[in-house]
Amino acid sequence: MLKEKLSGIAGVEAVSICSGNPISDNMIARYDLEDGTYYAPYMFYGDVDNLETLGFELIGGTEPGVASIHGRLVNEAFLRHFNIENEAAIGLKIPGTEEDQITGIVSDFNVGSLKINIPPAIIARSL
C-alpha cells in the first residue's frame, strides 16, 4: 500500500491519507441552518495519522474512533463562529447536520493565505 511504502522512505517522519492539505485543494462544504441561513466551513477527511502528520494539536475531547462515521473534530474558529465554549462543545451536534457530532477540538490552523482570518473547519475520519 502507498502509505506503507512512503513510511519506509528514509527521513519520512509521518504519513497520512487525507482529502487534501490545509493550504490548497481543500473542500468547502455548505450547511443550511434551520433559520434559513447557511455557513461554509472548510472540510477535511483524514485517517488516524492525520493530526500527527499535519501537526494539529488536539486541545479538547478525543479524535473520532476509527469506525465513527459521525464523529467530527472542529477548530477553534468553528466554535467562535457559533459562540460555543470549548468545554461545552464535546457531544454537540454539528449545526446543519442530522447526526454529526463534535468529538474533539483542534487548535486553529491556516487554510490558505496568512492575510485572511482563519475560517471554521471540520475534520472527519476517513475509514
In this structure, what DSSP letter does residue 125 have?
E
Q: Is residue 42 part of a domain?
A: yes
Q: Is residue 11 part of a domain?
A: no
Give per-residue pLDDT as tens, 64-111.
876 678 999 999 999 999 999 988 999 999 999 999 999 999 999 888
pTM here is: 0.84
Which is it for the CA torsion 62, 64, 65, 68, positive or negative?
A: positive
* Residue 49: predicted pLDDT: 82
* Residue 48: predicted pLDDT: 83
Q: For the chain, what is the domain count? A: 1
Q: Is residue 8 part of a domain?
A: no
DSSP string, 23-66: SSS-EE--EE-TTS-EE--EEEEE-TTHHHHHT--EEEE-PPPT
Phi, psi angle pair for 107, to nearest 5°: -65, 155
Q: How far is CA 8 from CA 4, 48, 54, in A?
A: 6, 18, 18
Q: Is residue 76 part of a domain?
A: yes
Q: Domain residues for 94? A: 18-125
Q: Is residue 13 part of a domain?
A: no
Which three three-digit cell numbers place residue 38? 447557511
DSSP string, 59-114: EEE-PPPTT-SSEEEEEHHHHHHTT--HHHHTTPBPTT-SS-EEEEEE-----S-T
